[in-house]
Structure 1
Amino acid sequence: PDRLARIPHGWTPSDEVQVLAADLDNVPLPGVTTPVAVSPRPDAGWLSLYRYRGAPVPAEGRAVVESVLGGALGFGRIGSDTATLAIARAAVTDAPDGRRWVGLTAVEVAAAHRRRGLGTLVCGALLQWGRDHGATHAYLQVAADNDAARGLYRALGFVEHHRYRYATEPVRPLA
């Protein structure tokens, strides 16, 4: 709403989101020895760590996580069969201008393993996977107040493209 007009009195703004983008030629990608397994579908370990708004993915949400329109999906996971340490999802799709993009979502690192580079590893592996699938550019969204994640993405070569937030009209009682 900020680009269009002032938020009307009484409306509630959402948290601000940054959309970041990168040219994959400017992204330092990992070598071939990365410990990230990438598969076309999420396995039980991947699903055990994924959270949607702080909770496990609801049954109806799994179809959304496993869908892409006209592209390819990769689900990256670091860990063993008994312990998943980090995950992320990548979707490679074509833009109307002919560029091929890889979008990162669902980046999660188990709480006990944060700040050890696992997020960088899983994201880097999926960016390489995207490049292997023809992507030349990457994008993602991150909460503007998530300093740790924004630092990780900056280190990978992402820059801010734009920001957004929504405003919600107050619920008015029926007369």
Structure 2
Amino acid sequence: MDLEWIATLERASHTAVPAARTAFDGPFLLRGFLGGTGRANAVSALDPAPDPALEARLPRIEAAYARLGLPARFRSTPLDPPGLEAALLRRGYRPESETAVMAGPLEGFAAPDAALEILPAPDPDWLAILATAEYQTPQRRAEKQEAAAMMMVPAAWLLLRIEGRPAASGQVAADGPLLGFFDIATDPAFRRRGLGRRLLAAAADWGQSQGAATGWLQVSATNAAAMNLYEALGFREVYRYRYFLRAG
């Protein structure tokens, strides 16, 4: 496992998904927003070296989130210090399902699409398509709406219309040579028409125009159909992560 490459993708992920509040406690990056999306409201370790202060650090991190009125949520990645998972289990945390992080070259599938709409921020049509693919709490929706003004790298919210109707959407963030893909969704009425692949190709073309050469994305490890699509485009799994939350 290439920890340097994993660290690069982890840094890119934090850049691409902004949070209103950030702080460090030793090797841990704390991020807080409105309590919606996982990554913007979670703790992630950025150094896999042993952390002799780990046991003392965890209650301090929990207190920081309590002050924000948020539950402490830990993202467990290959960059965790030794013993983190065991320490979290002892404190009553339980793991959620795994997410795979995949990466691959854009060159093999990028293609322009005249029907692509490039939006500077999510609009109601974009959000409506996303709502068909994920459960949107008011907090998640608000975070996605506010994220556009918080981005410090080039980003775009992409929309494909079919016969005038919004059909597929996605979001991308270009971080130097890296292009992150997020929120790829197709309205159920337009599925099985290849719109997901088409949107990804157009998004990759936009990324190349921003200087990116390598794409990366996150997908549920149980979503075999999506993983098969991404593998067909040349993406390969790099690592997995999962969240730990206190039971109950």
- State whether TM-score is above 0.5: yes
> Superposition pairs for residues 64-79 of structure 1, below 5 Å?
64=147, 66-67=148-149, 69-79=151-161
For residues 68 and 127 of structure 1, what CA distance do their matches in structure 2 show? 22
Counterpart in the other structure of 1:107 = 184
- The alignment's TM-score, normalised by the length of structure 2, stands at 0.58
Counterpart in the other structure of 1:14 = 96
Q: Say how many residue pairs are matched.
A: 163
Rate the CA distance shift 1:68–1:146 in 2: closer, same or farther, 3 A: farther
1:56-96 CA-to-partner distances (Å, cap 9, x unmatched) read: 653344102x24543111111111595211000001113xx
Deviation >4 Å, runs of 4+: 1-7
Does residue 55 (structure 1) correspond to residue 136 (structure 2)? The answer is yes
Picking from 125, 136, 139, the partner of 1:45 is 125
Counterpart in the other structure of 1:97 = none
Rate the CA distance shift 1:109–1:33 in 2: closer, same or farther, 3 A: closer
Contact 1:101 1:136 in 2 (8 A): yes
- Quick check: which one's helix share is greater? 2
Counterpart in the other structure of 2:226 = 149
Matched residue of 1:58: which SS?
helix
Report 1 or 2 for greater relative contact order, CA contacts < 8 Å, sequence distance ≥ 6.
1
Mind listing any 5+ residue stretches in structure 2 that lack a counterpart? 1-75
Rate the CA distance shift 1:16–1:38 in 2: closer, same or farther, 3 A: same
Mind listing any 5+ residue stretches in structure 1 that lack a counterpart? 95-99
Counterpart in the other structure of 1:36 = 116
Deviation at 1:45, TM superposition (A): 1.8
- The alignment's TM-score, normalised by the length of structure 1, stands at 0.79
